[in-house]
Amino acid sequence: MKLALAQVNPTVGAIETNVAMIRRAVAEAVSRGAECVVLPELAICGYPPRDLVLSASFVRACEAAASDLAKVVEPGVTVIVGTPRAIGTGGVANSLAVLRGGTITRWYDKRLLPTYDVFDEDRYFRPGDQAVVVDVPTAKGSVRIGLSICEDLWKGQEHGFNWRYEGRADPVPELVANGATIIVNPSASPFGLGKGARHREIMRMHATRHKVMVAAVNQVGANDELIFDGHAAVIDAAGRLVCAGPGFAEAVTVFDTDAMHGEVNDPLLSAAREEVAFRALSLGIRDYLHKTGFSKVIIGLSGGIDSALTAVLAVHALGAANVLGVALPGPYSSEHSKSDAYDLAKRLGIACPTISISEPVEAFADVINPVFLQQKQAELGATLPDLAEENLQSRCRGTTLMALSNRTGAMVLTTGNKSEMAVGYCTLYGDMNGGLAVLSDVPKTLVYAISRWVNREWKACGFGCEPIPHSSIEKAPSAELRPNQTDQDSLPEYEVLDWVVEARVEERRSVDEIVAATGFEHALVARVCRMIDIAEYKRRQAAVGLKITSVAFGSGRRMPIAQKWRG
């Protein structure tokens, strides 16, 4: 059988557009001889549809689209596509529709519904309870294909949530018991660094344990904060990767299950971590902009590494003509910060006008400071200059960028990284202003690693030279809100800070556990963990941030703001 795995990029709720995209992918697959075409989970509506699923009219529109799609599938071809569908009284299933001969011949309802991290499928869907194996006609007879959807295969193992399914039937052995020789697994599994390798191992485990072929196709693209990497794959019964689709791009991969195949190179595992992160973030920017109706972005260029990498990613995603850099020097801005910003803009081929914030900062200080001077210092606890004046500078920059956004219709990209967001080293209504937080799930040490990688691989990335000035990478990071300031005046070294942030946020370890694992001073770890806890109110008001690690700030981490636990 010639099996096609079509990794497509649906937009949530754009049902007609998604169906047209599916039809193009099916037509390409058929032109290449495919007899069965498999598309991702919920491809008709896009993933994750979230509360759209609670609308009965939305679900009906998806089902109607699946029925209409069936009518145009060519004779002799089977299409398997994901869509929500109504079941029972008021229930909805996350389903696969099997299209053949002008109609929907079978339905399969996802049996294991993830409800952890960014997933809320128990909120929206009823689980299926039936193993479904379909006979797919081919030129040589028929092939029995077992249907599964995403979590039916993974069972939370890559996140450590497999305990959720204790006592539940394992869908895979039931498919094998019903005669499946190939198990297909359409998915909409969000990207995360290292996650793909674990998925490959789980596929390999099923294939070798049950002596079946396993074929998986993932959604590609980005919807809101979630990025999907594609990387379709086929694992044979011996556990070998015999077919692999590309990452971070739409593609139709056609595979002949009857031919002899050797193991192929895995594009998912062969790329450097920095490259994978770069490609994911670039895709995240492009899709977030285009799917929300924007085409251009504005970035405040400070001469530092975070704004530099954000600008590089934006140019890679959108093209230089659609990126505007703005230099916003203030009273404490160094000459190298300004020259590095202009150098970056020149290397990237983007405009970079200069708007000084010194006058508005001085005007705000003239208005506000007398209030402090008229009061008793003990009453207000103010010593001038103070943190308020530092934050005024950031807020003047944020206000200026948002004014430019209003005037031009371009979206402001924020530049804060995960390390800063974790401990609240950022200013509400200042540098946090914007529509998309590009680096909010990228630790500072990884920011440096990606920046060095893109400078090494500038040709492969499509740039005309090394895009980031060396001084932006080498100099000590600083917010430049007071004389001779560096980040390490307020924070531990980033190599230390990032260890603690990862252990606390992604691994959910206690202070004592982190101390035991790292050997760091107890007082330092406790201080950082406390900073992480009390900055939750800031993160709740932040722009949507692209997710690339196992736990990002956002929908996958739901910590209370008003809480007193200090473990």
Quick: pLDDT tens for 470-481.
999 998 887 767
pLDDT of 379 over the 90 cut: no
**Token match 């800070």: residue?**
497
DSSP 291-345: HTT---EEEEE-SSHHHHHHHHHHHHHH-GGGEEEEE---TT--HHHHHHHHHHH
Q: What value does the mean pLDDT take over residues 117-121?
A: 94
Left (φ > 0), alpha (ψ -120 to 50) or beta: where does 289 sit?
A: alpha
Choice among 62, 150, 352, 426 that is catalytic? 150
* Consecutive H or E run containing 122: helix 121-124
CA separation for the pair 343, 467 (Å, rounded) = 9
Where do the DSSP E strands lie in 88-231? 91-100, 103-109, 133-138, 141-147, 182-187, 213-218, 220-223, 226-229
Q: What value does the mean pLDDT take over residues 312-331?
A: 96
Amino acid 410: pLDDT: 98
Amino acid 423: pLDDT: 96
Quick: pLDDT tens for 234-257.
999 999 999 999 999 999 999 999
Amino acid 81: pLDDT: 98
- Tell me the sheet residues that pair with 123: none
Closest by Cα among 256, 249, 415 to 328: 415
* Assigned architecture for domain 2-270: 4-Layer Sandwich (3.60)
pLDDT class of 225 with cuts at 50, 70, 90: very high
pLDDT of 549 over the 80 cut: yes
CA separation for the pair 106, 121 (Å, rounded) = 22
Quick: pLDDT tens for 484-507.
777 787 889 999 999 999 999 999
Q: What value does the mean pLDDT take over residues 410-424?
A: 97
Say what the pTM is. Answer: 0.95
Residue 74: CB atoms within 10 Å: 9
Strands across the sheet containing 323-327: 323-327, 297-301, 411-414, 436-437, 544-545
Q: What value does the mean pLDDT take over residues 146-158?
A: 92
**In this predicted structure, which of 152-156, 163-167, 400-404, 541-545 has the lowest mean pLDDT?**
163-167
Active site includes 521?
Answer: no
Average pLDDT score over the chain: 94
Choice among 2, 110, 338, 418 that is catalytic? 110
Amino acid 374: pLDDT: 65
Quick: pLDDT tens for 172-217.
999 999 999 999 999 999 999 999 999 999 999 999 999 999 999 9
Please state the domain extents for the chain.
Answer: 2-270, 276-487+541-545
Active site includes 74?
Answer: no
Decide: helix, strand or coil at residue 56.
Answer: helix
Active site includes 529?
Answer: no
% of the chain exceeding 90 in pLDDT: 85
pLDDT of 385 over the 80 cut: no
CA separation for the pair 471, 401 (Å, rounded) = 25
CA separation for the pair 278, 281 (Å, rounded) = 5
**Token match 């031009």: residue?**
408
Domain 276-487+541-545 sits in CATH 3.40.50.620: yes
pLDDT of 432 over the 90 cut: yes
- Tell me the sheet residues that pair with 134: 145
Amino acid 384: pLDDT: 63
Q: What value does the mean pLDDT take over residues 84-92?
A: 95
Buried b (16+ CB within 10 A) or exposed e, 161-177: beebbeeeeebbebbbe
pLDDT of 49 over the 70 cut: yes
Residue 451, C-beta contacts closer than 8 angstroms, at least 6 positions apart: 305, 308, 309, 312, 468, 472, 473
User: Do the bridges between strand 233-235 and strand 213-218 make them parallel or antiparallel, or are there none, so unpaired?
Assistant: antiparallel
Choice among 41, 63, 151, 502 that is catalytic? 41
Left (φ > 0), alpha (ψ -120 to 50) or beta: where does 254 sit?
A: beta
Amino acid 386: pLDDT: 78
